Structure 1
Amino acid sequence: MDILQINEIQKARKMKNDVKIKILKYFLSLFNGIFLIIGAIIFGCGIWILWDENSFIGTLLPTDHEDILSVSAYCFLAIGITVTIVCFVGCIGSIKEVKHLLFLYCLFLSLIFILQLSIGLAVLSQYSNIETLLGKKTIEAINHYVNDSFSKELKWNFLDLIQKEFQCCGYYNSSDWERNDLIGSTSLPCSCSNSTVDTSTSLCTITENTYIYPQGCSTHMKQWLSGNVATVLVAAAALLLIEVLQFIMAVNLFKSIKIKENY
């Protein structure tokens, strides 16, 4: 094989490598854009948790556990900001073909992957405890309904909203309201029936014509919880898959740039 043939082979390999670099740059930028959008959504969730006092878990969460919600919100904010920084590093590293930035990009992706996987496993392991806490705090809110000494009237309004929206009464059934000493045997929250709610009072008198919703709210609340947890886990799984693809493409781009420098 003469020198001309060797040069032609090297030229063909260089062209093939250049095309590979362009393709990797394109898809890495595409996945970085998706990753950035997801990061913005996560950041928005953190803002929503901090500003929305009427959130489902926030309303029923006990006062001594409210810091957990704040910590979770700040974790979302931190993840959103970190994802933005990682995307920026990845874009600059791929566009400018800077190997050190691509290495740093892969390192950040690995750390985020491990963190997300740990959080997902933690949520799954604590799901039953979260479900139990949700029922416990709902029963507590029922027991203290219309009691001025209770911590937040917001919890009463939220119970009314759940019962009216899902047409249910109590957590297990309407007999849960018998636990409340301030509610007589002839009265129930107006939201427990199809009666028109009187804005001047939370309670309605039960008559023979009053229709009380027979089903408790536990099923609907558990369905809400499981649905949201499932959504979060599916989104997390999709994000993990994207991170794996980003890592693979970044490693290949790193190798291709290294090969290009040797020509």
Structure 2
Amino acid sequence: MWAQENVAGRPAWRHIPSGVVFREVPRGSFRMGLSEAEVAAVRAIERSGGVEDTVEPFFEAAKDAQPVREVRVEPFLLARHPLTVAQVRHFLPDYEDEYADADSGTARVEAELDELLDALPFRLPSEAEWEYAARAGTTTLTFHGDDKPGEEHLLDDFADERRTAALENAFGLAAMGSANEMCADAWLPGFAGAPTDARPRGGDGPRTVRGGAADLFPWQGCDEWVLLLAATRERHDGFTAIRPAAPLPSRA
């Protein structure tokens, strides 16, 4: 079912039936949520003239990614990048995608979402797992730092292996934040009372998504670059990308 190999010079696990490549995300702890330092970094971008329209909606929604808290994460597998159109077709052979330009592009699933989630032999990552994986040991706006992310940080098609590898973070994960990616958690505003062991939060209503900057490329003349930030979170509405997670395979 699983094969260990090196992908772009890093250890990886390949799910043999589907070909989906996963990275092992190590055990660790991190400060989850939008810190005051990150808020200040966005203010600094605003003062420097890096804002095209307004980031006030971002500041107004800051409370939805607070309070910051320490979260423990156990090791798990996470797909190297969101499922592509071709990979979704492994599970749903009749799948058609109206958003992607190529089979190697990120699949943005809408009507077939429930069918795909039922067909996948994987699970969705929790929000805590997603953010921990996106930060990859950093505490800045993105794993690149506190500067305004640019279009060069977007990755929406994985046909170019060299570019995919160049945009991986320290955990070997690419395109974190480019597409809006569904998490296992129900949407709840803020982190008050949230677990500290990376469990997903249950509840009624839509799930939470993370990322989504490439969904609005090239920013639509506004400031959707904030969707590339590690702490940004939204409620699911419409299409979504899927980056599956899985337990570590047995090494026996």
Short-chain TM bin: under 0.3
Larger radius of gyration: 1
TM-score where L is the length of structure 2: 0.21
User: Which protein has the bigger helix share?
Assistant: 1
TM-score where L is the length of structure 1: 0.20
User: Which protein has the bigger strand share?
Assistant: 2
